[in-house]
Amino acid sequence: MNNYSLEVEVLNSKDSLIQLSINNLTDAPLSQWLLTLDFARFIYSESMSKGSVVQVGTYTEIKPDQSEVIEANGVYQITFKIKSAPFTNYECGVREAYITTAADNFTVHHALDVKQIQLQLPELMPVDKITVAASDIAVIPKVNKLIKYDGQFVLAQTLTVSQGSEQALAASQWLVDELSYATKLTLTQDNTANIYFVENAVLAKGEYQLTVGDTELIIKAASETGFIHAVATLLQLVKSDAEGQYTVSCVEINDKPRFDYRGLMLDCSRHFHSIATVKRLINQMAIYKLSHFHWHFTDDEAWRLEIKAFPELTDIGAWRGPGTALLPQFSHLSEKYGGYYTQAEIKDVIEYATARGITIIPEIDIPGHCRAAIKSLPHLLTDTEERSEYLSIQAYTDNVLSPALAGTYEFLDKVIDEVCALFPGSSVHIGADEVPTGVWTKSPKCQALMVECGYSEEIELQGHLLRHVEQRINSHGKRMLGWEEVKHGDKVSKETVVYAWVNEEAALECVKSGFDVVMQPSKYTYFDIVQDFSPEELGVDWAGTLPLEQAYSYEPLAELKSDDPLRDHILGVQCALWSEVVLNQDRIDHMFFPRVLATAEVSWSKPEHKNWADFCGRLQGQKAHFKRNKINYRKF
């Protein structure tokens, strides 16, 4: 038990009025103290009932009035209002807190016991549990055409694989690896075989045919991804009985994807996730036929990708905590925290993903969300004459690159060149989201650039910078991707792909303007959002609640008719996991599974084949796979 405790209570949900109570549990008075806590809500300083507050992101310091003393076994209470919506779940309160005192020169951290937040909640009905029985054929996503026959193909102790196409090399090796892991069977590759990979040139890219008879199994495709998709289906068809016998039902399947782009984004900036965790997630993506892994490397809180031209980005920008350039955020208030990926590790992950038919899309978030980069390279990225006043949505006042500094372009060009050389895919994501209002307004250099270029609004400076970045990316033969705000300033070309995350209306505007889009509306695809209305639910609540059925119900730009030519601009669908409260692999599992299976079906299967009850039955049949692979899925 610690000597101090902290209680957080919502006094008025409508007005977002919060009360903090600091309890001194010792027999001595506490004077000249400072409270430090992780608090992911912006506090209006003028609303403080007493004392003062300083916030940088989630790092929050509350200082009492000079004469304030917390008596022995006494309590100190403060009320204030917060900027964002009221709390609806327990996890969104204070996660860590400590007190320092003048007696220790404010260097010794006295941890507080943080009590569960006291909420004011309306009566909410929990999301219904899934009660339907498990389907016999439980493949997700739903295949286009399936015929089931009597009989089973028995996976004997030794299986032999025959490859009739070089396109099948990666898929056959993946099959061998997965079956060897899941079933402990021994597989060999031989001319005398009972599993055949056969090339069929008339099939489309990604399409496959799978025929399971009682004595042999035949996989046909015309592309590497087609063979990989067939193996993904086959792996889901494998069953085991009480005696440990593995079988596959006799079936004939013809299948192909609805969208070529079926994506998943993982934020590794807010919390660092190991190479092993990333690979494990990529492997599960392949099982459910997702095709693109969007890797979010950089943000305000950390820079995770080695750039050889600027070692400071990871020497400094990959770490936060006491004694570092970056203050703690989200967790680990009292210790140094972080990590980054070397280019050698990245190449290893790329090879791993490619063998599973998955393209990696790197994201370097600019010109906002750049605090880690700016703190790492202040000599290049700091405008010493900048006096603009702004506050980002995450409560930073110093996180935006200047479009008027030569150092900005030196930084961007060298980073882009290395990223394009490192990642073999055809595109690079540059973020471009959430540049706050007020930036660049009081920078003499930026204002001079506006006059020079004939710009009338500061937002055009964002377009100015992004146009330069697009041209640099294009010079490497790659395409630029960005969030909805990439269009701000109206300077990028229609070759830029827009990721629509705010709402469907913005996406519709994009396709009408001629932009290609990837659909990622937060209401249906942001899996950091809580999955139920219960206050005990894990996750965050800034975008409401996102139950599994809601994720499954998504139909991209549903208002467009199926034959509307604007639909040609929809490249696909992506889900995302932002990692503010995602510290480890178990939490990744809990937030992604089973909702990622819903996104997989939305992006692969024909809309007319989707059925919620049918999906639930197939989902029940996935529990054996979750258990075999130790996936810490959210119970359903």
Nearest to 298 by CA among 243, 338, 241, 260: 338
Q: Distance between CA 526 and CA 540 in Å, rounded? A: 10
Nearest to 35 by CA among 98, 82, 80, 93: 98
Please provide the DSSP assignment of 349-368 as one string: HHHHHHTTT-EEEEEEEESS
Per DSSP, 538 falls in state: S
Is 229 catalytic? The answer is: no
Expressed in percent and rounded to 5, the helix, strand and coil fractions of the chain are 30, 25, 45
Q: Distance between CA 484 and CA 496 in Å, rounded? A: 11
Q: Which of 199, 345, 410, 434 is catalytic?
A: 434
Please provide the DSSP assignment of 70-82 as one string: E-TT-EEEEEEEB
603: which strand partners?
none
Q: Distance between CA 445 and CA 510 in Å, rounded? A: 32
Q: Residue 348, Cα to own-chain centre: how many angstroms? A: 21
Which backbone phi and psi does 223 adopt, to 5 degrees?
A: -140, 160
Of how many residues is the chain composed?
636
Is 369 catalytic? The answer is: yes
CA geometry: angle 530, 521, 594, nearest 5 deg: 45
Is 434 catalytic? The answer is: yes
Q: Distance between CA 326 and CA 305 in Å, rounded? A: 16
Q: Where are the alpha helices (DSSP H) in 485-609?
A: 504-513, 522-525, 548-552, 585-592, 595-604
Contact of 37 with 78, CB cutoff 8 Å: no
Q: Which of 271, 292, 296, 369 is catalytic?
A: 369
Tokens 């008025």 belong to residue:
12
Q: Which residues of 174-200 are buried (b: 16+ CB within 10 A; e: fewer)?
A: bbbebbeebbebebebeeebbbbbbbe
Q: Which of 267, 299, 460, 504 is catalytic?
A: 299
Nearest to 230 by CA among 170, 294, 297, 152: 170
Q: Distance between CA 491 and CA 513 in Å, rounded? A: 13
Q: In a 10 Å sphere around its CB, with 0-12 CB exposed, 13-18 middle and 19+ buried, how is residue 217 labelled?
A: buried
Tokens of 182: 């899941």
Task: Return the SS3 of 499.
Answer: strand
Known catalytic residues?
299, 369, 434
